[in-house]
Amino acid sequence: MKVFKFGGASVKNAKGVKNVINVLEKVGNSNIIIVVSAMGKTTNALEKVVDHYLNESKELGNSIDFIKKYHIEILEDLFENKHNPIFERINSLISDLETTLKRNKSIQYDYVYDQIVCYGELIATTIVSEYLNSEGYKNNWLDARDVIKTDDDYRDASVNWEITQQNIAKNVDKKGLTVTQGFIASDANNFTTTLGREGSDYTAGIFAYCTNANSVSIWKDVPGVLNGDPRVFENVKLLSQISYEEAIELAFYGASVIHPKTLQPLQRKEIPLYVKSFVNPLDDGTSVKKGQRLLPNIPCFIVKKDQILLSLSSLDFSFIVEDNISEIFSLFHKYHLKVDLIQNSAISFSVCLDDKFNHFDQLLSHLKAKFSVVYEKNVSLYTIRHFDEEAIQSLEENKDILLKQSTKETYQIVAKQ
């Protein structure tokens, strides 16, 4: 069996949903699990709903209406009959969302977030599944929360593989066509959890691992994995093949084309991953497999924006050694800050941090008590894998560089945005 993942951009409008059938027509439509993300930018729109709700903003109603209108417009383009029960089903999912907010008693942001943003995926899969059914592609709609079980680390939950594996074995019909949500799961108390932004790729990896799938295909609006994000870098080229290790490195440094956690379950069972164009499904795209050399062998450019460069030195000029470093790292861990780059000398220690959860200011108050602290927010971390002189020159041109670091295969700079 195969696992397909359609991201938000691929189902952002009716044309995108119709194109799912085009893909299935060309590459086969049985023994398939289709993992779907929220349509277009719905997750961002739902994040606004959560903010408005927790801040008791007057805009709450409008932000929910915006989401409702967006999906109803897609339905109107997909289904001619305005009495089709799908309209009622989507309206009732929106009502469920409103009821969830009304009944909620928690002020814990991460918990509330997961109970609300999941509606993006629930609505998207309901629409895609119903459209496929109406066009003769009979499928089972599966609530991913019934099978993927996690801990209760809301917004960044970890999978309980044993239970998930058992649930998937029991509930997924390997022969048919299944439509399910990416990104969402549930904890032991059946509260919704999420796997981190862009986590639908990871969901595809989880289903592939648990069903021993033959392959995972991620359908994208680009021809495959490119050697740089075309929105940032010029003259980018398609990588036709890379190894799991290389893909993990690229994802780790911030290449947004594959979610970093996705590769791990696939690598363990050597399940190939294909990244392909949903516009030209028969094109080869990129294959990610064991031990494949990078082809073509060219430098790969990655940028991570909105990072923080933090430098610490001891207040009394004593050395920064193991014990302070371990204390600093436990604080990063406590505040969920991801460390992307480290550079240290005897008396100072610099890191480039990703503050996904907006906890930096809390961290700062802790650190200031013990260290002399200098930091710069809104910097970009650029990475070149397999660099050469020309690649470095083109990257560094016109940049205000704050820090450089290079290893055998990887060249990195932190620069002002």
Q: Which residues contribute to the site for ligand ASP (CB under 6 A)?
A: 7-8, 37-38, 43, 120, 182-183, 197-200
Is-contact 144 181, C-beta < 8 A?
yes
Measured from the CB atom, the residue of 42 and 350 that comes closer to ligand ASP is: 42
Shorter beta-carbon distance to ligand ASP: residue 46 or 391: 46
* DSSP code for 261: G
Cα 76–81–87 angle (5° rounding)?
Answer: 60
* Closer by beta carbon to ligand ASP, 145 or else 385: 145
- Residue 355 beta carbon to ligand ASP: minimum distance, rounded to whole angstroms: 17
Do 282 and 271 touch, CB atoms closer than 8 A? Answer: no
Cβ neighbours of residue 234 closer than 8 Å, sequence gap 6 or more: none
Please list, in sequence order, all residues whose beta carbon lies within 8 angstroms of the beta carbon of residue 383, skipping any fewer than 6 positions away.
Answer: 253, 254, 301, 302, 303, 304, 410, 411, 412
Angle, CA of 136, 178 and 155, to the nearest 5°: 135
Q: State the minimum distance, in angstroms, from the CB of residue 378 to ligand ASP.
A: 22
CB of 324 to ligand ASP, least distance (A): 36
Nearer to ligand ASP, 38 or 250 (CB): 38
Relative to beta strand 177-181, strand 140-142 is: parallel
What is the nearest approach in angstroms of ligand ASP to the Cβ of residue 182? 5
Sheet-wide strand order for 348-354: 338-344, 348-354, 300-314, 371-385, 410-416, 401-406
Q: Angle 167-170-172 (CA atoms, 0-180°, nearest 5)? A: 90
The secondary element (H helix, E strand) that includes residue 339 is strand 338-344
Nearer CB in complex with ligand ASP: 356/399: 356
How close are the terminal C-alpha atoms of the chain, in Å? 45
Would you say 38 or 379 has its CB closer to ligand ASP?
A: 38
Nearer to ligand ASP, 44 or 406 (CB): 44
Q: How far is the CB of 191 from ligand ASP (least distance, A)?
A: 18
Q: How far is the CB of 103 from ligand ASP (least distance, A)?
A: 24
CB 337 within 8 A of CB 353: yes
